[in-house]
Structure 1
Amino acid sequence: MENNLNGKRILVESGGGVGDLIMFTPALRSLKEKFTGCMITFLTIDKTVDVINRLPYIDRVICIKRGRFMGRYRVLPDLIKQDYLIFTEWQPHLLFCAWILRCSHRFSVGRDGKFLTGTLHKRIRHVVSSSINFAAQTNAELLSDMLDVKLNGDMTKCDVSMPTESERTEVTRLLNKIGIKTGDDFILLSPFASSKERNWPLKEVEKLVELINKNYNIPVIFIGNTDSPFIEKKFQYSLLRKTNIIQLIEVIRRAKCLITPDSGPMHIAGALNVPCISLFSKDIPSRWAPKHNCWPIYLSYPCSPCTPEKFRDCPYDLKCMKDITANMVFKVLSNILPLK
């Protein structure tokens, strides 16, 4: 028999990046639609919290502030209040405290041979990294299994926090400052990812911008959270390290197309239904590429996909990313934005 979660307090934890959080939104939306009386709390880290903290179906978002004294333990009062605790990552400090405090319904991925694994009421079986299915669907299966419910609905439609009017005005000012007028079309290029191994080579970046400038009358704006003297010196339009997450969402919302490695901006574009060309290297499009308006480029070498550890010490010189050429990307772009 299916659980009735109305009146229940449910905490879901994910300490991952922007994409990891966005991939939970379809399941959480479905959960709230099915049990309007449940209280959903999401626990994450402070650097990604803004991407989902305005969604109406998440009642509260709390974050662990890294670098703050006892930051991880400041969330304990919130744990005590919950009827269900779902830690999608191994959090030994919080799991130990939840066990000592006798919090009910403690679920996590667990670790073989670890004492705390034996204290769990249920061990998570559906893990994104172990499935080739779309991550949002795997997360829905995870929550369904842990909460003994059946979550229905479209798990391919993700959500992000939306900017306020004043925040949109600030983005207009940022764009005007670099020479982009209100209403101007532009293409976004985000060549950098959270790990440098997934960065797209700058020589291909330069070739692609040359192709776009030659064939389109449209600016290319660089976005990302990485400094690049090369880009700042070489290209006219750059918002590198000039936007917070909310501003980035608004910039992506206005773009004609986004070109990026498998990274946070790709997931934001997917949630906003903005056309996106995503460059995949160590991971697979079936798991992470947005299901709508996204054109992944994946070379599918025999060594792909691979583990983060192998990727950081790649014996093949990261050819899965380095072999993606500007011509490949431009060919896809010309199908999205037809040449005149």
Structure 2
Amino acid sequence: MKPSLPAQPNHIAILRLSALGDICNLVPTVRALQRQWPQARITWIIGKAEHSLLAGMTGVEFVVYDKSTGLAGMRALWRELSDTRFDVLLHMQQAIRASVLSLGLKAGVRIGYDKARAKDFQHWFTQVQLAPRQSPHVLESFMDFARRLGVEDDRLEWQLPVPPQAYEEARRISAEKPYLVINPCSNPRLRNFRNWSAEGYASVIEHVWVQHGLVSVLTGGGSAGEKAMGARIEALCQPESVINGIGATSLKGLLALIEGARAAIAPDTGPAHMANALGTPTLGLYATTNPQRAAPYLWRDFAVNAYPEAVRTYLHKDISEVSWGQRVRHQDAMNLIKADTVIAKLDALLAHTEYRNASTRSSSVKGMSDES
């Protein structure tokens, strides 16, 4: 017999370790839970890097799990929470490692994805599943957990905390010029293939410099691949049109830099969703993943979508014949995105948001100022 869901939970656990983009997409669910039950404790079990992004978030107790610590880290976390019993555990990480981690947590009821959406046999580790949903965006899948608990007010709210020193980082890098943020690389992973070309980015940088008077600030981590990409882009651009900030910011500094940008451009990677969470106009570049599922949620209409063409070209199928989460793992897929298409989309995005200002971006910007 399945356990019943609590009508008014006193202590809610969220298990979602990674990744940065998914963490940003999950925050509105947390805010919805807080609105529904403002007195409830919320404990979020989260990855190390992801915690550095959200540290200081109001109303949430974070328990950090560093996946590099393996089983020893799991045991340490279990000991830390050995005296804690949650009313409900929202198991939101579809990975066997997270499911094993969940076994050492005490909870009255465990909610997970419905069988169609569950991966790595996650439904074996939960007692209650989400109601099935056809073709949801990642953000909507997360919000379904709140809805399953009975939350009706599912409006989107982020309020990401950004400390004053992060704004200092942003000012130092941007030199306080009007700028566009370009995060050219996704996380370096095996057979990732989400990155667009240096030549394509250079064309966009030239266009926004000449036509819009915007400097392009390159952002990203400090990996060798990201730094090499930044160097290639720089070499193709006029020196005054680009600032290379790759590897030069903390995650909080990156948030501040994105918040101050006129717009942000990125492939399928965390900073695209960080920009979305901040209300910054965001142009996502998609060919290997489906933007209807994974594009910056508030700016899906402006995403460059070469995914259907990639499915036809490299999987030899129509988009209607592949699963909702199907990826096109081909190194040439992103080359289907043409610079002229990106420039046209960017011009449309800038025109659409021409009269916006800091007070009308979103509640997330006000929330950041309140929490800084």
Provide TM-score, normalisation by structure 2: 0.75
2:129 corresponding residue in structure 1? 124
In 1, are the aligned partners of 2:266 and 2:272 still within 8 Å (CA)? yes
* Shift in CA distance, 206/31, structure 1 to aligned 2, threshold 3 Å: same
Q: CA 1:121–1:264 in 2, change beyond 3 Å: closer, same or farther?
A: closer
Question: For residue 151 of structure 1, what is the aligned residue in structure 2?
Answer: 151
CA root-mean-square deviation: 3.1
Separation in 2, partners of 1:210, 1:113 = 45
CA contact (8 A) 1:270 1:293 kept: yes
SS of the residue aligned with 1:43? strand
Amino acid of the residue matched to residue 331 of structure 1? A
SS at match of 1:292: helix
Give the deviation of 1:283 after TM superposition: 2.3
Counterpart among 93, 96, 102 of residue 95 in structure 1: 102
Which residue pairs with 2:255 in the alignment?
Answer: 249
In the other structure, the counterpart of 1:169 is 168
Distance 1:306 1:324, change over 3 A: farther
Rounded Cα–Cα distance in structure 1 between residues aligned with 2:295 and 2:27 = 15
Partner of 1:202: 198
Instruction: Tell me if structure 2 keeps the 8 A contact 1:5–1:37.
Output: no
For 1:240 and 1:21, how far apart are their aligned partners in 2?
22
Residue matched to 2:370: none
- The residue aligned with 1:138 is 141
* Structure 1 residues 79 and 104, CA gap change in structure 2 (3 angstroms): farther
Once the two structures are TM-superposed, the CA of residue 233 in structure 1 deviates from its matched residue by 4.3
Q: CA deviation at 1:84?
A: 2.1
In structure 1, the gaps of 5 or more residues are none
1:239 equivalent among 241, 245, 252: 245
CA distance in 1, matches of 2:264, 2:289: 19
Worse overlay, 44-53 or 208-217: 208-217
**SS of the counterpart of 1:198?**
coil
Distance 1:150 1:309 in 2: 31
Task: Provide closer, same or farther for how the CA distance between residues 214 and 173 of structure 1 changes in structure 2, counting only shifts above 3 A.
Answer: closer
Q: SS at the partner of 1:262? A: coil
Task: Determine which of 279, 288, 296 is the counterpart of 1:290.
Answer: 296
Task: Provide the secondary structure at the position in 2 that maps to 1:10.
Answer: strand
1:333 aligns with 2:330: no
Q: Helix, strand or coil for the counterpart of 2:303?
A: strand
* CA shift in 2, pair 1:121/1:166, >3 Å: closer
Q: Is the 8 A contact 2:181 2:258 kept in 1?
A: yes
SS at match of 2:254: helix
Counterpart residue number, 1:84: 88
> Could you list the per-position Cα deviations for residues 229-255 of structure 1 after superposition, in whole angstroms to 9, with x for gaps in the alignment?
323544541100111110000000010
Which residue, 271, 278, 286 being the options, matches 1:280? 286
**1:220 has 2:237 as partner:** no
Kept in 2, the 8 Å contact 1:106–1:121? The answer is yes
Distance 1:310 1:162 in 2: 33
Residue identity opposite 2:227 in structure 1: D
Residues 98-125 of structure 1: CA deviation (Å, up to 9, x unaligned): 4xxx6432344588997x966x451534
Task: State the secondary structure of the residue aligned to 1:242.
Answer: coil
* CA apart distance, 1:282: 2.5
Shift of residue 64, structure 1, vs aligned partner: 0.8
State the 1:337 CA deviation. 3.1
Q: Residue 187 of structure 1 aligns with which residue?
A: 180
The structure, 1 or 2, with the larger RCO (C-alpha pairs under 8 Å, 6+ apart) is: 2
Q: In the alignment, is the contact (CA less than 8 A) between 1:278 and 1:297 conserved in 2? A: yes
CA change 1:47–1:308 in 2 (3 A) is farther
- SS of the equivalent of 1:11 reads strand
Where structure 2 has 5 or more consecutive residues not aligned to the other structure, the ranges are 355-372
Asked whether the equivalents of residues 50 and 161 of structure 1 are also in contact (C-alpha less than 8 Å), the reply is no
| 1:3 partner letter | P
